Structure formats: C-alpha cells, structure tokens
Structure 1
Amino acid sequence: MKKLCFIINHISSGAGTERVAINIINGLAERGHDITLVTLWNSGESFFELNERVRTISLFEEKLPLYRNYLKLVLAIRRFLKDGNFDIVVNIETMLTLLVSPAVRGLGIAHVNWEHYNFTASSDSMLRPVARYVAAWTATAVVTLTEADTRMWQNRTRPRARMKTINNPLPFRKPDYHYHPDSRVVLAVGRLFHQKGFDLLLQTWHQVIGKHPDWTLQIVGSGEEEQALKAQARELTIEDSVEFHPHTKNIEAFYDQAGIFCLSSRFEGFGMVLIEAAAHGVPLASFDCLAGPAEIIDDEHNGLLAEAENTQALAEILERLMSDESLRSSYSRRAYDSIDRFKPEIILPKWEALFEELSMTTSSTCRTD
C-alpha cells in the first residue's frame, strides 16, 4: 500500500471540497493506505469525521498570508515531505500547487494536483489561472472531476502532467429506493453565495409559483448572501412559498421528502448535490452549466437540463415536472438507477490505479536534498 500525504488549507469548514476530500481519504485509509492529512494552519477539529487511521498535522497554528509568507510556507511543506518519506503528495485544490510544486521539487515524490472547480472558475483569485498552468506543467498528474474539465485543461494548457478524470463519490451509502410523488417541495442545496445562483432560482420561482401555489421551495445552506436572498424573496413577494434552512449535516432528511431537486449554479466543479438527490430518488432539474450537470443528468431521461443562467428555460422545465406526477415518478426511478457509477467502491479503485501508475513512473527517481 502507498504512503500518501494530502495537503489542504484547513478542515474546519463544512464546504463541499472538504467533504469530498475527507470521504476519499477515509475510504483509502479503510483500504489500507498509510495516509497523513496536512493542514496549513490549525483551525480546530474537522467538521467531518475522520477515520482514526488518518494522521493529521498542522504546519502552523495560525493562517499565514500567502504573499508575505510564501517562502516560509514552501519550506515548511518541503521539510515535512522530505522527513515523511512519502510516495505521493496530493494537494486538495489547485491554488495549493503554488506551494506544493516548488516544495516537492527534487524529492522524488509524485505530485497530484486535485482540481475541485473547473478550468474557467477563477473569480476568487487572480492567481488561480496561474496555478492551473503551473500544475499542468509541473505536477506529475492533474485530477479533474469531469471529462469536460479534462478537455478544457488539455486544450488550454497542453499539459505535461498526466490528466485523469475521477468523479466525486457518493458521500453516503445509497439508501433503498423510495420516492414520494405527491411531495410538493422543490429542494435546492448549497452555500449561499454568487456561484450557486440562488438569486437566479428565486427569479425562476417567481415565474412558476403563481401556477403552482401548493408548492414550496426549500433552500438549504448558509453563506454571505443569506440576507440578500431573503430580501429578494420579499421583493418578489414569494417569501410565503420559500423556506430557508441553515447548513446541516443531516441533509438526507431534506432529500427524503423532496419532490424535485433543482440546481441553479452559474458554474460547478462537479455537482455533488445532484448525485446525492438522485441517490434518494429525487428527479433532477438543472442549469446546463460548466461543468458537471450534463455528465450526471441524461436530459429527458433521468432529469431535465436548461440553458445556463436562463431563468425562463429553468422555469419551463420546473413547470413540466411540477405539472406531471407520472413524469416525476419516471425520472425518479431513472435518477436512482443512474448513480451506481458514483459509488465509492467504483471511485476509490480509480484513485488507487492512478497511484500505482505514478509509483511506477517515479520509483526510479533519486531523491535529492
């Protein structure tokens, strides 16, 4: 089994990146791999439960600004990797390649950059596009979440790194099939910020609720746009049919009672909530945004896709589902049957196969000081 090091900023957040990363790490640990999870700074206990076999270490007690502490961060990572005698290091999220790539140079350790967005998503940092090119040209491998994103990396960076698509796994055991076709709930889940497009969803809901006054929109999540979204609901006079619920670890309870799941994101890295909803037999409606929904939803088979950011188009597919119980039931069963390919027992061997390939290519590399 391989000796693996995963590096992440911190693990106290309940965000999707941390959730997926810890699910993969836990799964690999269960399969016997020797894993150390390194956080750059100590932010307290992990929001998600970690397997007891996983060692954790924080390099610093407090967050260090990148610009003023770049060399300090790189050297700290390098010392840890060198002393740990790891086979492979995985940076969780592409920005960390700016630290890991120089830190690993000359150590004979395979370096995997794990992309959690898509190639076009860079609004949070001007350095993110730079980090992607650094990863493409210096990492041993780049893992993306979708085939569409892999193609974008290949077309735009002409990478030296090995490109590999590995979907995110279903984060819980697939429950027995059940669906409530008489449910009058449209469910949306995600952090309340610009990317997730909840403002677009409220505009969409304003277009459909007049014809379906017995339906409710439930938005589950927390974030910086919460008050603005609640104000928007009031301005659109739809507040009586919209429920806001805070982020919860018990999201399965919401999936269990939903009639339709709707994803309104402007962009995605994958679209985890779609496979979670499908695992609970909830029919899917989504913007066809970059990247992920089109690789999860087979349009007109297990759900419906609408042109990205087109609220009228999204309203039309929601109305189709809300008006047709038979169609919802049909898409429900097909959605449920379609997500076995995302089970952990399918996804984890893909990571192991990649690690085996990388070990073979780096086994003859001599380590240097």
Structure 2
Amino acid sequence: MKLLYIVPNINNEGGVARILSVKANYLIENLGYEVHILTQNEGFFPLFYSFNENIVFHDIILKGNFFQFFQSYKNSLKNKIKTIQPDVIIVCDNGLKAYSIPFILKNKIPLILEMHSSKFIQEKEISKGIFSKFFSNIGNTYKEIGANKYDKFVVETSESIKEWDVKRTIVIPNPLWFASSKSSSLANKKVISVGRHTYEKGFDRMLEIWKKVVVKHPDWTLDIYGKSSENSDLRLFAKNLGIANSVAFYEPVRNIEEKYLEASFYLMTSRFEGFGMVLIEAMATGLPCIAYDCPCGPRGILIENKNGFLIENGNELDYVKAVETLIENESLRIEMGKNAKISSQKYSIDAIMETWNQLFIETKNG
C-alpha cells in the first residue's frame, strides 16, 4: 500500500517529526508499505531524526500573500497527488490549510487527519478583546467543518475527543520510540523538562515555579532541553528571576534517553498538548511526572498519585507543593517511578502500529 503524509515540515526536533520518523520507518521496515512525505518550503532538509532511506520526499514552495499562498498550495497539492497516486493520504497539520484539503481534493482519495495538538492551541498569548474572540471562534468552527470532511479523524487521547464535534473519530496514542531496559536511580538532585521554547510549552510558567522551589531546595537543579527561540529568551527570564545558577538550558540532543536517566522526575507546564510524548518517554525511564492539566494530553497519560501529579491548570501553588513533595519524599519518588515504568508499557510500538495498519486497510477499502 502506498501512503502519503502531508506535513508542513520535519526538519526540526519537534514531536511530530520524531513520531513521523518512528511510524514511517516501522511501516516500511515491518509492514512493507511504500511511504511518501510531502513538506513545504524545503521542510525536509536537513533532518534531525533518522528516516528510512526508502521514504520518498516531496516538497512544494509556497510564497506570496494569503491568496497567492493558498492558490499555490491548491495547485501544487493537486499536481503532487496526481504524480504520487497514493492509496491513502494522512495529513499531520493543525494549520487552517489542513482543513481545506478535503474541499481541494473532493475526497477522491481516502483522507485521514492526524491531530497532534489541542483544538484551542495558541502560538502566542492572544488579546481578550471581542474581535480576537470572534476570529478565534470562526477559526475553531472552520476546523470542525473541515475535520468532519475527512474519512477518519485520529486523536491521541480519549480526552481530545471532548474538544471536537467530529464524526468518525478514533483514538490512537503515539508509540514509545524506545524500550528502555534501564531506570533512573531517582537519587540525583536534578529535574528535567524537554520541549521547544514556545508559548504553548509554558516554560515561563515553569521558571516561576522553580523560583519558589529553590528557596527551600537550593541544591536542586532544573535541566531544560529544547530548541531555543528568538521570541522567547528563557535564559534572560531565568536571570531576571534570580535562578540562573539553578537552571541549565540545552539544545536538543538525540540521546535524550540518557538525560532522563540522570534526573529524578519530570516537569511539564504546557498551556496546550495534543498528547505529551515527553511524558511517556520520561515514564519509560522510571521518572515520576508532574504536569498541568492543560488541554488536553497529560490527563490521558498521568494517573494522579500513582505515576505522578496532575495539577489544576495554572494553579502555581499546588504545582510548587507537588515538586517539593517529590524532592522531600524519596520513597514516594521510587514508588511513582516504578508505576510510571509500568504505565509506559501500554504504548508499545508493535501494538500501536498494528492499529494504524488496520486503519489504513479499512480506510483504503472504504
């Protein structure tokens, strides 16, 4: 079977790029699929993650104002699909253009929309004014109209279903891309977090929390791994908060499993999450996790007081208490770490990719 994935770009260290590399490689190496990936504006080079050499990459160049951009996207998309002739198309994009694809192609080829984010995701803080809310509501309405035109709508947790009024929805979680035989000792006075320095990831909230934590526990440190951003100078923010000596920032690394093993628990303060791949990665190495109950990935992964803590979104006081609890209670860390390791096993790649395999077969056959 021939698959075509449509995604804005994969030349980055983000979760979508990692998951697509894992799934595409598995489909080729274990299930015999032919996989094509279509990006835009040279979005497939250079690659950070490893993609199988048999994957066929395509790219379209999009420029100009809104109308020129959309017209170019429409024409280029039709031409590429006519050339590739896929059996099934999978769209991994939360931009508004993704919800236009069913109208462009008119369902001549089976379409799957694979959602990796919250419906209400924001790339930056928006105004609370009436016009901002008006345009936001229009955008969300258009998303639901477009999503309902797809043959299948795939979300990553059952909680995500509640955000959408979309038929033909199926839940398929992300697969765990590594099976760690090791577990952290949970003895190092170090906490870890992983993610891009963007508004949605909420690292500004994490630093505010850490400022309060180190007052009582100045011997603990926080390591943050992720792509820095010109629009978010977290290093300067940490300096202004007076915590620069207890926070270390690192660019993305391929051997992130080793970094999890050096830490004692994991922190997530995202404003929005479609799933939270980093949570199951951390859990696979035996780390308890603390996360805000944001829309809407963490609540589908964390079990309160078992493998971590799920904190009311924005409740900084409770979050600080949870961090201090794990710092001060080693036996609780160890118990939660064991439970986290067990919880991660349900994300086995073999089981999850068989679910995808069956979905592709059913979708192709109508």
Give the TM-score normalised by the residue count of structure 2: 0.90
1:151 to 2:166 alignment:
no
Q: Is 2:147 the counterpart of 1:141? A: no
Query: Aligned residue for 1:284?
Result: 289
Q: Does 1:206 align with 2:205?
A: no
Give 1:314 shift.
0.7
Query: Once superposed, what is the RMSD of the aligned Cα atoms?
Result: 2.1
Selected match of 1:250 from 228, 231, 255 = 255
1:25 aligns with 2:24: yes
2:346 equivalent to 1:345? no
Native 8 Å contact 1:201 1:264 kept in 2: yes
Tell me how far apart the structure 2 counterparts of residues 264 and 65 of structure 1 sit (CA, whole Å).
35
Q: Tell me which residue corresponds to 1:93.
A: 93
Alignment match of 1:129 (pick from 113, 116, 140): 140
In 2, distance between residues paired with 1:29 and 1:330? 39
User: Residues 1-369 of structure 1: matches in 2 within 5 Å?
Assistant: 2-30=1-29, 31-43=31-43, 44-60=45-61, 66-95=66-95, 96-105=97-106, 107=108, 109-123=109-123, 129=140, 131-154=142-165, 159=166, 161-171=167-177, 173-224=178-229, 228-361=233-366
Of stretches 308-317 and 66-75 in structure 1, the one that deviates more from structure 2 is: 66-75
1:364 is matched with none
Instruction: Answer yes or no: is the 8 Å Cα contact 1:40–1:63 preserved in 2.
Output: no
Structure 2 equivalent of residue 365 of structure 1:
none
Change (3 A) 1:94 1:241: closer
Following the alignment from structure 2 to structure 1, what is the Cα–Cα distance between the partners of residues 329 and 169?
42
Which amino acid letter does the alignment assign opposite residue 168 of structure 1? Answer: N
- Deviation by residue 1:127-171 (Cα, 9 ceiling, x = unmatched): 8525522332311111111111112213xxxx3x41111111112
Distance 1:13 1:153, change over 3 A: same
* Aligned-pair identity (%): 28
Query: Stretches of 4+ moved more than 4 A in 1?
Result: 62-66, 122-128
> In the TM superposition, what is the alpha-carbon distance from 1:74 to its structure 2 partner?
1.1
1-side partners of 2:257 and 2:237: how far apart? 27
Equivalent residue letter for 1:306: I
1:205 deviation in Å?
1.0
| Secondary structure at 1:305 match in 2 | strand
Secondary structure at 2:254 match in 1 = coil
Distance 1:230 1:17, change over 3 A: same
What is the TM-score of this pair, normalised by structure 1? 0.89
Superposed CA offset, 1:175-221 (max 9, x none): 11322132100111111121111111111111111211221111111
Displacement, 1:123? 4.6
Preserved CA contact (<8 Å) 1:94 1:135: no
Instruction: For 1:144 and 1:41, locate their aligned partners in 2 and report how far apart those are by CA, in whole Å.
Output: 27
CA–CA distance in structure 2, aligned partners of residues 251 and 70 of structure 1: 38
Q: Is the 8 A contact 2:123 2:199 kept in 1?
A: no
Q: CA deviation at 1:226?
A: 7.8
Query: Contact conserved, 2:172 with 2:355, CA < 8 A, in 1?
Result: yes
After TM superposition, give the deviation of residue 42 of structure 1 in Å: 1.8
Q: Which runs of 5+ in 1 are unaligned?
A: 362-369
Partners of 1:22 and 1:102 in 2: CA distance: 28
Deviation digits for residues 244-268 of structure 1 (CA, Å, limit 9, x no counterpart): 1122222222101001111111121
**Is the alpha carbon distance of 1:132 and 1:99 closer, same or farther for their aligned partners in structure 2, counting shifts above 3 Å?**
closer
Shift in Å, 1:227:
6.2
Tell me how many residue pairs correspond in the alignment.
352
Partners in 1 of 2:25 and 2:240 — Cα distance?
45
Amino acid at match of 2:52: N
Structure 2: which 5+ residue stretches go unaligned? 125-134
Give distance in 2, aligned partners of 1:21 and 1:63: 25
**Following the alignment from structure 1 to structure 2, what is the Cα–Cα distance between the partners of residues 328 and 226?**
35
The aligned residue for residue 132 of structure 2 is: none
The structural deviation recorded for 1:50 is 0.9
Aligned partners of 1:78, 1:249: CA distance in 2, in Å? 36
* Distance change in 2, residues 1:244/1:135 (3 Å): same
The CA deviation at 1:66 is 4.7
Instruction: Classify the secondary structure of the residue corresponding to 1:304.
Output: strand
Q: How far apart, in 2, do the equivalents of 1:226 and 1:282 lie?
A: 30
Q: Is the 8 A contact 2:118 2:274 kept in 1?
A: yes
Structure 2 Cα separation of the partners of residues 18 and 64 of structure 1: 26
Alpha-carbon distance in structure 1 between the residues aligned to 2:281 and 2:70? 38
Q: Is the 8 A contact 2:190 2:221 kept in 1?
A: yes
Say if 2:186 and 2:287, in contact at 8 Å, map to a contact too: no
Q: Quick check: 1:87–1:359 contact (8 Å CA) kept in 2?
A: yes
